[in-house]
């Protein structure tokens, strides 16, 4: 069974549900404090930076946490090919640490800026619709996402707008297919405006990977959509229908929710790597 570290930083608040979601797909998740000895990090096969408000988002979301030695260690493990998933505040940390998109290794090439939508500002908490792309991160984080399937997932952030000031970085993100998850309309068509485009991110990006595809900065919260019981009954696609059909059926409610696809894809790839390791 693959071992996954869930990084606990002061101010993070989604570490326990993230560990549970990882456990639900058969991964052995352990919550690891930011100040544990440097040697601990190499013991794991994968890393998840969960959501929350590390260091109260002081200066900028993720800015202080990105400087932690623990993030340095995780970056070194990622360079060896291990996967790293940053969820919401975790995504902000990965971007502030320069790990995504990583065209010029070590350089910070993006920001997660305050949400931008007409007549709206500040923190936004709602369900959104996503579609997975075909980029290099697919085998790690979207292998089980059906190509045309629209995945409902909740967001909860004030600074979730992926952007870069560098036109070359922007072009390469598009050309190399690094937008692994994109906000779309419930029909699967482009999210042209709020609410389907919830924050004004470039390319309506919900999740962007690094060039190698093993690091994903992902703004929605899959751990809040890992069980069917977490899905709102009024969702307007088949997930809402499934949720309504499950009313009163405890076993069905404990079934998978739409967000599980990310953790299950990670588990699948990790299992294949463990298999590769055993054969070699």
Partner 1 sequence: MSAVLLTRLKITDLTAWTALEAGRRLLEPGHALTRIVREQLLLFEPEAGARAESFESRLEEAVRHSNFFVNPNKETYRLLTSAERGEVWSPPEGAWGILARTREETADEGLKQRLLREHSMPGLASIRRAKVWWLWSRGPDGGPAIPALSRALGILRDQKHGLLVNPHGEAAMELTDGTPWAVVERFLIDPAPAFRAAA
Active site residues: 88, 221, 223
The residue among 108 and 271 lying less far from partner 1, judged by its C-beta, is 108
The residue among 106 and 147 lying less far from partner 1, judged by its C-beta, is 106
Min CB(97)–partner 1 separation in Å: 5
CA dihedral sign of residues 100, 103, 106, 110:
negative
Burial class (CB within 10 angstroms; exposed 0-12, middle 13-18, buried 19+) of 38: exposed
Q: Is 75 in the site for partner 1 (CB under 8 A)?
A: yes
Burial class (CB within 10 angstroms; exposed 0-12, middle 13-18, buried 19+) of 32: buried
The residue among 210 and 226 lying less far from partner 1, judged by its C-beta, is 210
Binding-site member from 31, 40, 156, 163 for partner 1 (CB under 8 A): 163
Q: Is 67 in the site for partner 1 (CB under 8 A)?
A: yes
Candidate segments 66-74, 126-134, 141-149, 248-256, binder of partner 1 by CB under 8 A: 66-74
Q: Which residues pair with 111 in a beta bridge?
A: 163
Q: Which residues contact 88 (CB under 8 A, 6 or more apart)?
A: 14, 50, 51, 52, 155, 156, 157, 160, 218, 219, 220, 221
Q: Is 60 in the site for partner 1 (CB under 8 A)?
A: yes
Q: How many residues contact partner 1, by CB under 8 A?
A: 33
User: How many C-beta atoms surround the C-beta of residue 28 within 10 A?
Assistant: 13
Residue of 153, 181, 132 whose CA lies nearest to 258 = 153
The residue among 94 and 246 lying less far from partner 1, judged by its C-beta, is 94
Min CB(124)–partner 1 separation in Å: 16
CA dist 116 and 158 (Å) reads 9
Q: Under rule CB under 8 A, which residues in 82-111 are in contact with partner 1? A: 96-98, 103-104, 106-111
Min CB(115)–partner 1 separation in Å: 12
Min CB(18)–partner 1 separation in Å: 23
Q: Is 166 in the site for partner 1 (CB under 8 A)?
A: yes
Q: Under rule CB under 8 A, which residues in 9-48 are in contact with partner 1? A: none
Asked whether 129 and 259 are in contact (CB, 8 A), the reply is no
Residue of 109, 106, 99 whose CA lies nearest to 171 = 109
CA dist 137 and 47 (Å) reads 15
Min CB(241)–partner 1 separation in Å: 39
Going from the C-alpha of 68 to that of each of 42, 49, 78, 216, 235, the distances in angstroms are 16, 13, 15, 19, 39
Q: Under rule CB under 8 A, which residues in 113-152 are in contact with partner 1? A: 113, 116, 119, 121
User: Residues in the site for partner 1, rule: CB under 8 A?
Assistant: 55-56, 58-60, 63-64, 66-67, 71-72, 75, 96-98, 103-104, 106-111, 113, 116, 119, 121, 163-166, 168-169
């Amino acid at each position: 069974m693959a071992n996954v570290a869930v990084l606990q930083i002061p101010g993070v608040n989604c570490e326990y549900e993230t560990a549970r979601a990882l456990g639900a797909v058969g991964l052995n998740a352990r919550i690891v404090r930011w100040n544990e000895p440097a040697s601990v990090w190499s013991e794991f096969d994968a890393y998840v930076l969960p959501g929350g408000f590390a260091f109260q988002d002081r200066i900028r979301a993720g800015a202080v946490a990105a400087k932690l030695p623990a993030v340095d260690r995780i970056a070194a493990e990622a360079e060896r090919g291990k996967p790293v998933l940053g969820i919401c505040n975790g995504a902000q940390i990965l971007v502030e640490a320069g790990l995504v998109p990583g065209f010029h290794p070590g350089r910070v090439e993006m920001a997660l800026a305050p949400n931008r939508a007409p007549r709206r500002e500040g923190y936004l908490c709602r369900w959104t619709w996503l579609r997975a792309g075909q980029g290099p991160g697919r085998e790690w984080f979207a292998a089980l996402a059906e190509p045309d399937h629209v995945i409902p997932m909740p967001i909860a952030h004030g600074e979730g707008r992926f952007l870069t000031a560098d036109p070359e970085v922007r072009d390469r993100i598009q050309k190399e297919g690094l937008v692994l998850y994109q906000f779309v309309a419930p029909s699967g068509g482009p999210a042209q405006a709020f609410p389907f485009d919830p924050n004004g991110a470039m390319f309506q990006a919900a999740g962007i990977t690094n060039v190698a595809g093993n690091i994903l900065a992902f703004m929605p919260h899959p751990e809040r959509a890992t069980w069917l019981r977490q899905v709102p009954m009024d969702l307007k696609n088949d997930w809402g229908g499934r949720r309504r059909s499950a009313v009163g059926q405890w076993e069905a409610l404990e079934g998978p929710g739409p967000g599980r696809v990310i953790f299950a894809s990670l588990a699948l790839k990790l299992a294949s790597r463990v298999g590769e390791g055993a054969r070699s």
